[in-house]
């Protein structure tokens, strides 16, 4: 559904965002999922994009208020595929996407409820035969059926990728934060129900699920033959060991040694 009905331009980019019902980490209440909301935000900031939201799952009171969180970001409606709870939503979503044929599908990297394995985008990509890119930080440009995107790497680094469209891209918490959800649009927005046959996920119901246990903290075990070695290991200051010391060298020689190390580690950029 176009969120901006006024200008249906010719070059419009067709974007579908897959959204799920999240769960607040502390209160456990249903809410819009954080990563999915970031995906919606990214889609809404794309120029000339026709954004369409799709949710597959049950529609009840809880999920209604959570899904309205997305509508409150400024969308008129959400496409809703009613599925029983605990269903495998991949076949239904793949069928819908095949029919709608968007150029870009955005979604959060993993769900906040259920198995939360983050496998769904990969399965969809495999079903549809589209490429998939993870950790999207920004879409720079879309032209000639190719998108140039920035991928967020650990440590705040970015990598530029070019992907052939149509493609699926997942968004993690490194993407820009989602805008607030406004109450008025959230009330006004509606749902476009669509029915697809659900497939039960039998394996999931066979697993034993319990609230997460705290993981045991790893102890530092010192394997030493004698008490003296164990004491030394426990009381030792950081001693590096085997470090190279350049003493009495000229500043140029010192700088050269440092430069060599920096280059070996690949931290100095070429330009």
Task: Give the closest residue to 75 by CA, choosing from 3, 182, 158.
Answer: 3
Q: Minimal distance in Å, beta carbon 170 to other proteins?
A: 9
- Cβ distance to other proteins smaller for residue 184 or 251: 251
Segment 30 to 59, residues that bind other proteins, using CB under 8 A: none
Establish if 143 lies at the interface with other proteins (CB under 8 A): no
Query: Count of alpha carbons within 13 Å of 10, Cβ hemisphere only?
Result: 0
3-state secondary structure of 40: helix
**220 in contact with other proteins (CB under 8 A):** no
Does residue 262 bind other proteins (CB under 8 A)? yes
By beta-carbon proximity to other proteins, the closer residue of 177 and 255 is 255
Binding mask 108-137 for other proteins (x = CB under 8 A): --xxxxxxxxxx--xx-xx----xxxxx--
> Binder to other proteins among 27, 197, 206, 220 (CB under 8 A)?
206
Under rule CB under 8 A, residue 235 binds other proteins: no
Q: Would you give the DSSP letter of residue 22?
A: E
Residues 6+ apart with CB under 8 A from 212: none
Map the footprint of other proteins across residues 169-198, applying CB under 8 A: 172
Q: Does 222 bind other proteins (CB under 8 A)?
A: no
Task: Report the nearest approach of other proteins to the CB of residue 13 (Å).
Answer: 18
For other proteins, the closer CB: 184 or 218: 218
Of the candidate residues 7, 11, 157, 205, the single one contacting other proteins (CB under 8 A): 157
Count, residues near other proteins per rule CB under 8 A: 85
Q: Does 237 bind other proteins (CB under 8 A)?
A: yes
Closest approach of other proteins to the CB of residue 111, in Å: 7
Please name the residue ranges forming H helices in 109-160: 120-128
**Which one of the spans 42-50, 91-99, 153-161, 191-199 is the region binding other proteins (CB under 8 A)?**
153-161
CB nearer to other proteins: pick between 93 and 111 = 111
Helices 61-71, 34-45: crossing angle, 10 deg rounding: 30
| 175: CB partners within 8 A, 6+ apart | 35, 38, 39, 41, 42, 136, 137, 138, 152
Cross-strand partners of 164: 146
Choice from 10, 27, 208, 236 touching other proteins (CB under 8 A)? 208
Buried b or exposed e, range 79-93, using 16+ CB within 10 angstroms: bbbbbeeebbbbbbb
Q: Is 236 in the site for other proteins (CB under 8 A)?
A: no
Find residue 133's DSSP bridge partners.
Answer: 169
* Among 111, 100, 102, residue whose Cα is nearest residue 201: 111
User: Applying CB under 8 A, which part among 12-20, 48-56, 180-188, 205-213 lies near other proteins?
Assistant: 205-213
* Residue 108, strand partner residues: 171
Q: Look at strands 13-18 and 21-23 and give their pairing.
A: unpaired
99 binds other proteins (CB under 8 A): no
Q: Distance between CA 226 and CA 15 in Å, rounded?
A: 65
Lookup: tokens for 165: 């469209």
């Amino acid at each position: 559904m176009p969120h901006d009905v006024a200008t249906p331009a010719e070059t419009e980019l067709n974007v579908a965002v897959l959204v799920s019902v999240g769960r607040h980490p502390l209160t456990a209440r249903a809410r819009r999922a954080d990563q999915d909301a970031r995906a919606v935000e990214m889609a809404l900031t794309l120029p000339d994009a026709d954004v369409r939201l799709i949710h597959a799952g049950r529609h009840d009171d809880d999920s209604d208020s959570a899904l309205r969180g997305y509508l409150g970001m400024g969308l008129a409606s959400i496409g809703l595929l009613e599925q029983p709870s605990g269903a495998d939503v991949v076949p239904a979503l793949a069928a819908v996407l095949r029919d709608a044929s968007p150029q870009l599908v955005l979604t959060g990297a993993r769900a906040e409820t259920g198995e939360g394995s983050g496998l769904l985008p990969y399965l969809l990509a495999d079903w549809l035969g589209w490429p998939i890119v993870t950790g999207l930080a920004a879409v720079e440009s879309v032209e000639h059926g190719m998108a140039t995107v920035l991928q967020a790497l650990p440590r705040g680094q970015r990598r530029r990728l070019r992907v052939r469209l149509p493609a699926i891209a997942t968004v993690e918490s490194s993407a820009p934060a989602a805008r607030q959800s406004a109450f008025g649009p959230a009330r006004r927005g509606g749902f476009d129900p669509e029915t697809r046959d659900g497939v039960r996920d039998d394996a999931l119901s066979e697993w034993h699920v319990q609230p997460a246990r705290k993981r045991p903290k790893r102890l530092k075990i010192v394997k030493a033959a004698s008490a003296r070695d164990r004491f030394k290991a426990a009381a030792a200051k950081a001693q590096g060991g085997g470090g190279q010391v350049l003493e009495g060298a000229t500043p140029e020689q010192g700088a050269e040694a440092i430069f060599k190390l920096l280059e070996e580690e690949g931290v100095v950029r070429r330009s």
